[in-house]
Structure 1
Amino acid sequence: MSTLIDIKNEAWWQTLDESQRELLQESLLLLVREERLKTNWHDYAFVVFPAAKAYEGFLKKLFLDLGFISQQQYEGDRFRIGRALNPSLEAELRWESIYDRLTDRRGGDELPEYLWQTWKRSRNLLFHWFPWHKNAISLTEARGRIEMIIEAMRAANLAFFATSDPIMLTPEEQLPAASKMQNGNSMTPEKEDE
């Protein structure tokens, strides 16, 4: 797992808003603390929760930036990521499927599926209680979920905003390492000298 210092040096980190960065830092600090204390909690979901919350904010902003949701949906409390990102959405609701739009935009479902699995495993199943399955996780599993969230944000940012992190793109898709941020969250490559 990347250290917090390493992550702060990655281009995608700068595209997060301050509250998302704080939430990720909180999860990483909780993880380090629990690994040092060696407590034996039944469930370490509390370590993942801040990162999962940051991931929710990240996805909403991603969907807004890609034009998949409106500013009103972004700011409102009715938009449901789990419904919009679910690849098994019922036929009569497919018109609102962000999963399908992401698949169309990327020309395949590898990244949308990874974003969905990250949401499902690191947020949705983790923070709901079911009588038949409590979904408690170990500290090692908590570390894996945090890593999954970070990787999903890194990969989505790279795939849609052309940062210089070489994750999930073919060599033909990768841009030159020199990228710079313009206009807040918009990433564009610098022109190469001829």
Structure 2
Amino acid sequence: MEITCAGHVRFPTRGLAAIAALLLLTACSGSTESAEASGAADDSSSTAEDSGSSETATEETGQEPAEAAAGGPGTGVITMDDGTVYTFEMTTCDTSETVPDEIPLTNGYDLAGTTADGTTDLTLARLGFSPDEVAVTVGSIEGDYDENRQNAELLYAANVEELDLTVSGGSVTGTATMRAVGPNRPHGDQPTATVDVSC
């Protein structure tokens, strides 16, 4: 009789050769279990690789992680000439250079934001339908709302003739002369605001 280990080596079952064959058979059997164990390890590593490939696939689809998307479109900082600084989380932050199809007007922008505590709002816009059209320009800082978040007691409107803002890519910077409209006038009647918005 002959014993085959892994189908390659054959040993006759006589005397010491039989004992050697049994030891070898046991070793072959152990190596099979090792192979199975290593196969299990290979399976887990392939699972990890599969997980990695799904992350790669997500990157290839262009989808961003949720926390990156939650960051918002930009930040706006308005510094009043009395030193008061308002920082706005932008809810709309577009310029003629970032979305030229939507804002074809040269040096155009559409900006809106709210402070983190939700008490003050910013609006700045210079819009038109063609590069050379006369722009419709507006600007305001509003706050001190009633319990329904309406009827702002603090309201400053930009003097359009003195709204000197420049677009550079996703940035809008410059100065704006504001006019107090609401009864609460913490910055005076005609403060100058320095604008620095990054989309």
> Is TM-score (shorter-chain normalized) higher than 0.5?
no
More helix by share: 1
Rg larger for: 2
| Structure-1-length-normalised TM-score | 0.21
Compute the TM-score of the two structures, normalised by the length of structure 2. Answer: 0.21
Higher relative contact order (CA 8 A, sep 6+): 1
Which has more strand, going by share of residues?
Answer: 2
